[in-house]
Structure 1
Amino acid sequence: MKALYDERIIDEAEFSLPFSSRAWRYGDGIFETMTLRNGEIWHWPLHWQRLSNAMSVLGLIWNKEMTWQNFTKEIEYLLEQEKIVDGVVKIYVWRSGGGKYIPDSDLAEYCIAAESINHMDHKKTVPLAGFCTQVQNMPSPYSHFKRLNSLHYVLAAREMKAHGWGEIILCDYDDNVSEALYSNIFWYTKGRFYTPSLGTGCIEGTFRSAFIQYLKKSGSPVDEVKSKPGHMLSADSVFTTNAGGVQIIKQIGEHTFDMPPVVDDYLNELVN
């Protein structure tokens, strides 16, 4: 993996932060993970919007004039220099300076990393998923952004691994379905699509946003809801979305799901 940091391209092994870094000490920052396909970043404007919103909530300020166009040029420079056309691009932004909980500065440092990956599978199948019992989601001013501190998801991932599941589903503190480990979750039943609302504490995924926009333009009913697991478990189909594409869930516990042609057509349209 190569990275653009402090206006120069470096190898992954060259990157380091001092012990005083707030990213290291407090996880005081955010990140974006984006899919690069044929030289184009999927949903890049949505990623930039989420990044900008997150910086506003956290009170982070760019240390130089930074616009969508300027940042795009920096990403393109890294990709062109390293000849990367398919793969993953990551953006890390953190608060510079020291201090304890009270920061010395609100200026942001950032790093852009890119990795070449050929033949990425943008539509996968998950044979078996289950519900998380170790942690629950809680809505907050920053819950729908991707934060550097991800202990919440690490604990959920360990539970998923212990059970041998391919995916794990998190609920909020009121036992409403919230999201999957790496992804947002959708279900389809009786001609309608459903997905948990941001009020459940889920990430505001870019593919989630794009899919909701697509469904509305297509005239397909879609509801953002606070819903108990039973409603989802009675659905015709369940699937998850993230920056890399979609994952079709075949079974949750004892409940199995199909993939109606209308749903499959929508998903194929988005990933192909």
Structure 2
Amino acid sequence: MSESDTWSFASQIDLPNRAMSFGDGLFETMYWDGEKIRLFDFHLDRLRHGMEILELSVSGLQEHSLLQLIQSLNLDSESRLRWTVIRAGKGKYTPESSDVVQVLQISDFHRAPAIKHRAIISERIRLNPSIFSSSKSLNGIPYVLANLERKRNGADEIILLDNHGNVAEAGAANIFWEKGGEIYTPSLESGCIGGVMRRSFLDFLEERRIDFVQDLFPMDDLLKADRLWVSNVTGISMLGQIGSKAFQTDLPDYLLAFYKNSL
């Protein structure tokens, strides 16, 4: 039996399971460019880190068979992949197993819009940094509620703050801004997700010796920005306006170079 034979097609998974009962698992949303998963090593690093925190068996990951499976499906166009890792077994809050069940979902890939014209600040949701906040856990309720708020207000993006009022991230993306030629982004201590595009962009800046600052920033700092953008696996979107404050939406040279290299 080959490694790819460990994956099977199924319309449902067993119920109940620990994902449904406790959100006991993690996921990675990945971009298949027609030939490979972009930034797959970064996805794998983040997933393994989260699994170690949840005390899941990292040896149970089947990344090689996952890649073999995708290759066997002959996906010759861009696709969105969601790789979900769930703790196996039952039990209540105390797990009975560290083994994992893995699920792969494949859907059409939709690139992020170049500009999100109107953004708002969430009035309902505050993020709290924790040992697992930088990972993509199956508890996505804060982001569900935030995006309901965004939709209700007819906005293109929503910005989330931490419990001290510092900028954390967007509704489904990391956030960056430029002021006076300096680049800023919230640190992971804000409770934001450790995004793979965030990591790739910061690596890009370091390689080119372009200065940037990671820290905790009050909302006032963000509103003084010249440019503001968000990024995730679907790409980069410039933000046009927050309230009465308008931002430049042209791509600076460094961001254009990164964008061309990344997508």
For normalisation by structure 2, the TM-score amounts to: 0.92
How far apart, CA to CA, are the structure 2 residues paired with 1:197 and 1:184?
10
How far apart, CA to CA, are the structure 2 residues paired with 1:129 and 1:267?
24
SS at 2:129's partner residue?
coil
How far apart, CA to CA, are the structure 2 residues paired with 1:134 and 1:209?
28
* 1:97 equivalent in structure 2: 89
For normalisation by structure 1, the TM-score amounts to: 0.89
* 2:40 equivalent in structure 1: 44
Residues 78 and 6 from structure 1, CA distance in 2 versus in 1: closer, same or farther, beyond 3 angstroms? closer
How far apart, CA to CA, are the structure 1 residues paired with 2:54 and 2:73?
32
Match of 2:111 among 106, 115, 121: 121
SS at 2:125's partner residue?
coil
Residues 168 and 196 from structure 1, CA distance in 2 versus in 1: closer, same or farther, beyond 3 angstroms? same
* 1:88 equivalent in structure 2: 80
Q: Would you say 1:223 and 2:223 are equivalent positions?
A: no
Match of 2:252 among 238, 261, 267: 261
Cα distance per residue 1:195-215 (max 9 Å; x no partner) = 000000000000000000101
**Structure 1 residue 231, shift from structure 2 partner:** 0.9
**Structure 1 residue 6, shift from structure 2 partner:** 8.1
* 2:104 equivalent in structure 1: 112
Check whether the contact 2:30–2:81 (CA below 8 A) recurs between aligned residues: yes
Residues 5 and 92 from structure 1, CA distance in 2 versus in 1: closer, same or farther, beyond 3 angstroms? farther
Query: Which is further off, 247-256 or 79-88?
Result: 79-88
Check whether the contact 1:185–1:240 (CA below 8 A) recurs between aligned residues: yes
Describe how 1:1-272 pairs up with structure 2 within 5 A. 7-10=6-9, 14-19=11-16, 21-62=17-58, 64=60, 66=61, 71=63, 73-85=64-76, 86-117=78-109, 120-122=110-112, 124-258=114-248, 259=250, 261-272=252-263
Cα distance per residue 1:105-141 (max 9 Å; x no partner) = 1211112222354xx4355210100000111000000
**Structure 1 residue 77, shift from structure 2 partner:** 2.4
How far apart, CA to CA, are the structure 2 residues paired with 1:139 and 1:15?
33
Check whether the contact 2:231–2:237 (CA below 8 A) recurs between aligned residues: yes
Cα distance per residue 1:13-35 (max 9 Å; x no partner) = x122212x111101111000001
How far apart, CA to CA, are the structure 2 residues paired with 1:213 and 1:264?
13
Check whether the contact 2:236–2:259 (CA below 8 A) recurs between aligned residues: no
SS at 1:41's partner residue?
coil
Cα distance per residue 1:156-192 (max 9 Å; x no partner) = 0110011000000000011000000110000011111
How far apart, CA to CA, are the structure 1 residues paired with 2:164 and 2:5?
44
SS at 2:260's partner residue?
helix
**Structure 1 residue 102, shift from structure 2 partner:** 0.9
How far apart, CA to CA, are the structure 2 residues paired with 1:265 and 1:104?
49
Kindly tell me the number of residue pairs found equivalent between the two proteins.
259
Q: Which amino acid aligns with 2:75?
A: I
How far apart, CA to CA, are the structure 1 residues paired with 2:114 and 2:36?
21
Unmatched segments (≥5 aa) in structure 2: none
Q: Which amino acid aligns with 1:128?
A: R
RMSD (Å), alpha carbons: 2.0
Cα distance per residue 1:31-86 (max 9 Å; x no partner) = 0000111312111100000000000001001474x4xxx51x32232222322132
